[in-house]
């Protein structure tokens, strides 16, 4: 069976969201014991150290920074999103925080239209609207927490981060993209971390390292996936992470979503399914995957 570019992109995004969910678990286990600025710097530094050997193995032409302005913007979006993510996951249940993080694909739709000039079809617009209703259900006013604002901030930075992938040179390897994103984030993050530095225990170092590794997996998956197809065709697959964090939250943190939260999550993830188009030609059924 031959997979289409859209199907490949969706599969890569699902794997990336599993990696992102494991990173969230590591952050949750930190339980707010590390300042956001210190966490941001250490995670980015570890990411650079992990990926540098792979970057050095690339041909010299492929190690070039490419579009440095776009890389710089994406690097600082990572910083801002990481800090707000730490706050949101610390004070909100995993499923609730991630439901708000997955406002990102909703925001990617208008951003891809404005920045990339993409034109999504009516089905994608409808699916996005249904997903937004699901997020409103999850974010019920009577259960609103100030950390939810941090979660929505993370979603905004993530949406712009992903949309800008398509502004990067298509020939730039994923390794090079991740390397420069990490390098360009270090100056600002190091200055901020210096102001809030405190000694860390071994367990904290291990959890931040795990978060860095799993986040790299997610970022690499995003670059690979969004180069496969237009943003609006595969962006809804980002919602798959809600399934993973709901399971992890139940198994590891005894977090059981109530029925309204469950309904909201279903409204968010069901529209992402790549429902096949059905059409007939000469009385013969034809299955379309795109």
Predicted confidence at residue 184, as pLDDT, reads 94
The yes-or-no verdict on residue 153 having pLDDT over 70 is yes
The lowest-confidence range among 47-56, 66-75, 128-137, 208-217 is 128-137
The helix/strand/coil state of 280 is strand
Arithmetic mean of pLDDT, 178-204: 92
Predicted confidence at residue 12, as pLDDT, reads 86
Go through the chain and tell me how many residues it has.
290
The yes-or-no verdict on residue 147 having pLDDT over 70 is yes
Predicted confidence at residue 57, as pLDDT, reads 92
**What confidence tier does 32 reach under pLDDT thresholds 50, 70, 90?**
confident
The lowest-confidence range among 36-40, 140-144, 181-185 is 140-144
| Residues in contact with 191: Cβ distance below 8 Å, sequence separation at least 6, in sequence order | none
3-class SS shares of the chain: helix, strand, coil, % to 5: 75, 5, 20
**What confidence tier does 1 reach under pLDDT thresholds 50, 70, 90?**
low
Arithmetic mean of pLDDT, 110-132: 76
The yes-or-no verdict on residue 171 having pLDDT over 90 is no
The yes-or-no verdict on residue 119 having pLDDT over 60 is yes
Higher pLDDT, 86 or 264: 86
| Whole-structure pTM value | 0.75
Ramachandran category for residue 104: left, alpha or beta (phi over 0 → left; psi -120 to 50 → alpha): alpha
The yes-or-no verdict on residue 106 having pLDDT over 60 is yes
The yes-or-no verdict on residue 284 having pLDDT over 50 is no
Q: Which of 232, 226, 93 is nearest to 170 (CA)?
A: 226
The yes-or-no verdict on residue 289 having pLDDT over 60 is no
User: 231-268, pLDDT tens digit by residue?
Assistant: 667 766 767 777 888 889 888 888 887 777 778 777 77
Cα torsion 215, 111, 102, 8: sign: negative
What is the distance between the alpha carbons of residues 125 and 219, in angstroms, rounded to a whole number? 25
Tokens describing residue 64: 């070039």
Predicted confidence at residue 286, as pLDDT, reads 44
Tokens describing residue 267: 């409204």
Percent of the chain with pLDDT over 70: 86
């Amino acid at each position: 069976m031959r997979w289409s570019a859209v199907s490949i992109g969706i599969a890569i995004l699902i794997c990336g969201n599993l990696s992102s969910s494991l990173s969230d678990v590591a952050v949750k286990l930190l339980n707010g014991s590390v300042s956001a600025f210190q966490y941001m710097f250490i995670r980015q530094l570890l990411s650079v150290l992990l990926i540098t050997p792979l970057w050095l193995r690339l041909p010299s032409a492929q190690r070039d920074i490419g579009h440095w302005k776009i890389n710089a913007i994406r690097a600082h979006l990572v910083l801002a999103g990481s800090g707000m993510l730490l706050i949101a996951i610390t004070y909100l249940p995993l499923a609730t925080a991630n439901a708000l993080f997955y406002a990102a694909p909703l925001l990617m739709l208008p951003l891809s239209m404005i920045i990339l000039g993409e034109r999504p079809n009516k089905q994608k617009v409808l699916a996005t609207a249904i997903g937004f209703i699901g997020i409103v259900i999850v974010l019920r006013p009577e259960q609103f927490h100030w950390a939810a604002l941090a979660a929505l901030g993370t979603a905004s930075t993530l949406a712009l981060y992903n949309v800008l992938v398509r502004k990067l040179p298509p020939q730039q390897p994923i390794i090079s993209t991740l390397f420069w994103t990490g390098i360009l984030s270090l100056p600002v993050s190091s200055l901020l971390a210096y102001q809030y530095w405190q000694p860390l225990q071994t367990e904290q170092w291990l959890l931040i390292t795990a978060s860095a590794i799993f986040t790299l997996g997610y970022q690499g998956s995003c670059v690979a996936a969004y180069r496969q197809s237009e943003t609006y065709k595969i962006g809804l697959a980002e919602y798959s992470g809600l399934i993973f964090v709901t399971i992890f939250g139940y198994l590891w943190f005894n977090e059981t979503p109530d029925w309204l939260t469950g309904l909201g999550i279903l409204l968010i993830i069901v529209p992402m399914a790549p429902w096949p188009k059905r059409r007939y030609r000469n009385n013969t059924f034809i299955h379309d995957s795109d």
